[in-house]
Structure 1
Amino acid sequence: MLKDLLNHLNEGKTFLGGSELESVMQEVAIETQKQLAQINHTYKTDLEMKEGVAHILDKEVPDSVRIRQPFYMDFGKNIEFGENVFINASVHMQDQGGIRIGNNALIGHQVVFATLDHDLMPNKRGNLHPAPIVLEDDVWIGSNAMILKGVTIGEGSVIAAGSVVTKDVPANVIVGGNPARLLKRLSDRE
């Protein structure tokens, strides 16, 4: 059933509140929260954190990934890490819609990744709409930024601290603000 759930989420299909798939998602999320509570409860080295996260994800995570605690995932089954990724303390990943992190990504303190939205209509508010977040290679996300569903951040780009990213970011730029907007283009000479 988990495979069906992941397929449903990764196809971007609306997730109906009260459905059987929602029940499965809640069960998985509860188990993930229990495991994260154990991992975050006592000091762990970067390697121990990486191994704990890999166990929850039930997939390999590159040895070069460094994760500082505490670290939070809502679902814990739909994240992919590239090589040489650094995740600072108190990062929150609402990963139901999928999070793909490229090589050499730097993620600052208290960054939030939100891959789900509730329906806007009050009578359908229990329905969820998933979409992935993609960080291409060499992306730097500043502290306290929020990345919303469906956003791709282009290679080499920087998200300024405290920004709310609501739309795709091209490669090799700096964006900032709420909502994030272009601040500067990066050149090879910088």
Structure 2
Amino acid sequence: MTLLHQTIDRAYRLMGRKEYKVDRSLKARELFANTANRILPILRGAVLGLLFKSHKGIIMIGPRVTLRGLSRLKVGKSLNIERDVELNAMARNGVVFGDNVTIKRGTIIECAAVLRNLGDSLLVGDRVGFSPYCYICIRGPVEIGSDTIFGPGAMLYSENHVFKDLNTVISEQGEVSVGVKIGKGCWIASQATILDGVTLGDGCVVAANSVVTKSFAANSIVAGVPAKRIGMRNDQN
């Protein structure tokens, strides 16, 4: 273990990640290269962070990132936004990210499709991770609990179109926006979709490619289209 390993460990602890330790198999030159690659994102974050409503720690913003509504965005300790992310924070009641949130490349978080109809709000807890190419559509209020992770390509929609009237085109029938609540410590696997009105209790697991149309209790394991409960995390069998 080198002094560089220890220094990086301490830096992560200062950002609130007390259990984080750099892999000791990484060589010093690899750590230097990785650290150098973070310099420009940190500089971008330092400048753009001045436009946020508030922030407490280090912000890293990768290249080709599109940001809107920053005056409505509150950030805790450490926010990492990778390349090609689109973040539109223009929600009526704002967007809050907790400590140590990571948004991987190509993810879209969209709080307003048009200026006449802003989304309600987005509240993201601590240590939440969005894998590459997630799509999060905010219309009704969305709450995501701490330590929840989204797999690549996972999607969330807090709005449904009204489509009952056969004599009116769907685009003119309006929308219903109830909202979505995802508890703490959930795993939304790759390509899974969460639809409006859903509440997932703490510790739920949503299998890859599932479409969740209804709510499930804590620690449920759900899968399928539409998703059904196939087990509980505390099952002994």
TM-score by length of 2: 0.56
Equivalent residue number for residue 177 of structure 1: 224
**CA RMSD, 1 decimal:** 2.8
Equivalent residue number for residue 136 of structure 1: 183
Higher relative helix content:
1
Counterpart selection for 2:192 from 142, 145, 161? 145
Q: Distance in 1 between matches of 2:95 and 2:135?
A: 19
Q: Is the 8 A contact 1:160 1:177 kept in 2?
A: yes
User: Alpha-carbon deviations, 1:37-78, whole Å to 9, x = none?
Assistant: 94169xxxx83418x859666544223111101111232552
| Bigger relative CO (Cα 8 Å, ≥ 6 apart) | 1
* Mapping for residues 1-190 of structure 1, pairs under 5 Å: 38-39=64-65, 47-49=79-81, 53=87, 59-75=95-111, 78-120=121-163, 121-122=165-166, 123=168, 125=170, 126=172, 127-187=174-234
Residue identity matched to 2:200: I
Q: Size of the alignment, in residue pairs?
A: 149
SS in 1 for 2:65: helix
| Runs of 4+, deviation exceeding 6 Å | none
TM-score by length of 1: 0.69
Q: Distance in 2 between matches of 1:48 and 1:162?
A: 26
Unaligned runs of 5+ in 2: 1-62, 68-77, 113-118
The structure that has the greater radius of gyration is 2
